[in-house]
Structure 1
């Protein structure tokens, strides 16, 4: 594939990236307002926190794979990380549609730390969406130089979101009813 074909290939995904980058957070926000009177068969927060932890591990393994020239493994791990993130999102929304939000009960500095981590986690989880999509598209369209350039931004953002998801769960877990 030559450079002009790559640009065309990249551009055909741009509308989809923009749409998904807007629609995903909007749909999640709307679904937060929807309450379903149902009891889930399992308590989801520790499950989706574990998914976040696994996502962080997979991201680090994917980074190590590409550093060691294992491009196919890197590609497989990145696809797995995307699947894990989607699975997390579905469970997170399902939990919040069927359960009341848990209030953080900590005080003092701990309270401020919790809200700092929570707010930055939420903001970064929205910001990272287009970065992940653009990085993925540049990878699958074999636009490797641009892929590497944006991956340097995407990787730490996504890793931060995955790790802080676990931290938020650990900090609020004593307050679940």
Structure 2
């Protein structure tokens, strides 16, 4: 199913709106504290698990498409997107009810942690338009363009998912 130029243009407008609005909304919501709501301290291990699950789903999805199983690949990719949205919702909810946890490590491990955290945050913002463009190209039947951008999207998204787990494991002793 090939899309018309107008439909593609409409998708692109929405992709850029979401790619800008999501990070801005997250940044704004980080300044909001919900009064009277108990700290949601149980969420970090859940959303870290969702990040790990996303990474596994991404690897399995790539394996499935290489085997020619397009339908399963599509379902897995939709699931990975849902997982990422669930992660984001829980992450924001946690930070709207809890103060940020300071990393307590010292020496070189502190620099390793902050490097991983910084690259994780920056790439989690950068990957949004890549995921959306890759998804739209796939569902609209633009498979050549889809494969071309997926070669960039996949390692970025996988890095974000895996480093999300690593950041959690490194900060969890200090909760």
Name the TM-score, length of structure 2 as normaliser: 0.96
In the TM superposition, what is the alpha-carbon distance from 1:8 to its structure 2 partner? 3.6
Checking the alignment, whether the CA contact within 8 Å between 1:6 and 1:141 is kept in structure 2 is no
Counterpart for residue 9 of structure 1: 7
In the TM superposition, what is the alpha-carbon distance from 1:76 to its structure 2 partner? 0.1
Unaligned residue ranges in structure 1 (runs of 5+): none
Residues 8-157 of structure 1 mapped to structure 2, 5 A cutoff: 8-37=6-35, 38-40=37-39, 43-157=42-156
In the TM superposition, what is the alpha-carbon distance from 1:10 to its structure 2 partner? 2.1
In the TM superposition, what is the alpha-carbon distance from 1:11 to its structure 2 partner? 1.9
Checking the alignment, whether the CA contact within 8 Å between 1:6 and 1:142 is kept in structure 2 is no
Name the TM-score, length of structure 1 as normaliser: 0.95
Residues 157-172 of structure 1 mapped to structure 2, 5 A cutoff: 157-172=156-171
Unaligned residue ranges in structure 2 (runs of 5+): none
Task: Kindly tell me the number of residue pairs found equivalent between the two proteins.
Answer: 174
Q: Structure 2: how far apart are the matches of 1:70 and 1:80? A: 16
Checking the alignment, whether the CA contact within 8 Å between 1:49 and 1:166 is kept in structure 2 is yes
Query: Cα distance 1:6–1:70, how it changes in 2: closer, same or farther (>3 A)?
Result: farther
Q: Structure 1: how far apart are the matches of 2:131 and 2:72? A: 18
Instruction: Give 4+ residue runs of structure 1 displaced > 4 Å after superposition.
Output: none
